[in-house]
Structure 1
Amino acid sequence: MTEVCFVGDADCDLQYELLSRETAREALSTYDLRRPFENAIALSTVSLGAAVSLCNDLNWYVVRFVDDVLVREPSVDDDEWLSRELATAVRDGDVTGPDTGEYLKVYGLEEPEPTPEDPNPKGPPALVEPLYVSRQDGAVPEYDLRDVDDTVVVRLTEGEFTV
């Protein structure tokens, strides 16, 4: 199964924006929606082609309310995500899975902070401050923008990396 994750813009509630609009709601109605990250919606599709097609179907909403689209394709990597542009290139046969791992965007992952009102906060972790790096000797460089609980690695096209 291929996973798609829509990460919302910081200034909107992505779930509300997508599910309050009939066309997007209908396109998403056949999927089991999850929240792997704060202000994000994820789902599983049957293939990489179906994932890219769904992104294309929702493009009007993606342009307006989504900060990033992540696609995880097991035939490329079980743990690392692909950018939407790279997922499209893999689907179209312009690049193969093994040729996708050089250019990366690494997000920090922060768990919800305890507060006096809520010492044990629940909810998904937040993606924070991406770091653009290239793989060094086959390894992902360490995330060093801030102290984080974990990281999320997203593979990019060369064009996305050099912009």
Structure 2
Amino acid sequence: MTRVCLIGNDDCNLQYELLSRETSREALATYDLTRPFENSLSVRTVSVGAAVSLLNDLQWYLTRFVDEALVLEPSVSDDEWLSRALARELRNGDVDPDETGEFCKIYGLERVDAATETGESDVDREADDEGDARDANDSDAGTTASFASQRLVEPLYVRRAGGELPAYDLCDVEETLVVRVTEAEYT
């Protein structure tokens, strides 16, 4: 299954913004929603084509509330996401899956205390922890880490050399998330 993950802008609550509006709520109604990162929303689709189609349906909302739209396509990589533009090129047949790994953006994953950040109660936090544990155990999550209370920080644009990615060094983080991007997004 292909996954779509929407990372919200810093100045909004993405889940509220998408689910409080009828059109986006209806577009997402057939999917099981998860929250793999802080201020994010993720769904599973049947293919990269369905993922790109969903993103197209949500375009108005993506422009206003989403900082990053990511696609995880298992036929390309089990642990490296694709940018929306690269997923579109893949769906259109403009790029071969083996040719998608040269240009990347690496995000640091920073742990956050959900209660401190949102002011939620212990009961709310326990309910979120149960849902987040389910997300972390999801075999399509992109890595084996628990993203329950993590946020993406400071992307580092890199170019794969000799099959290896340079190490993330913008800040001190234990884990990273790799996003494959188009050459145009890289430059």
Q: Same fold (TM over 0.5)?
A: yes
Return the offset for 1:75: 0.6
Tell me what 2:61 maps to.
61
Q: How many positions carry a matched residue from both structures?
A: 160
Cα deviation code 1:45-68 (max 9, x no counterpart): 001100000000000000000000
For 1:73 and 1:63, how far apart are their aligned partners in 2? Answer: 23
Which AA in structure 2 matches 1:154? V
> Among the aligned pairs, what percent are the same residue?
62
TM norm structure 2 = 0.81
For 1:128 and 1:4, how far apart are their aligned partners in 2? Answer: 19
Which AA in structure 1 matches 2:179? V
Q: CA RMSD in A?
A: 1.9
Tell me what 2:182 maps to.
157
For 2:21 and 2:183, how far apart are their aligned partners in 1? Answer: 34
Structure 2: stretches of 5+ with no match in the other structure = 130-147
TM norm structure 1 = 0.93
Q: How does 1:100-119 map to 2 (within 5 A)?
A: 100-113=100-113
Poorly superposed stretches of 4+, deviation over 6 Å: none
Cα deviation code 1:94-139 (max 9, x no counterpart): 0011000000000000112497x99x98642111110001112111
Q: How does 1:1-163 map to 2 (within 5 A)?
A: 1-113=1-113, 123-162=148-187
Structure 1: stretches of 5+ with no match in the other structure = none
Tell me what 2:133 maps to.
none
Which AA in structure 2 matches 1:14? L
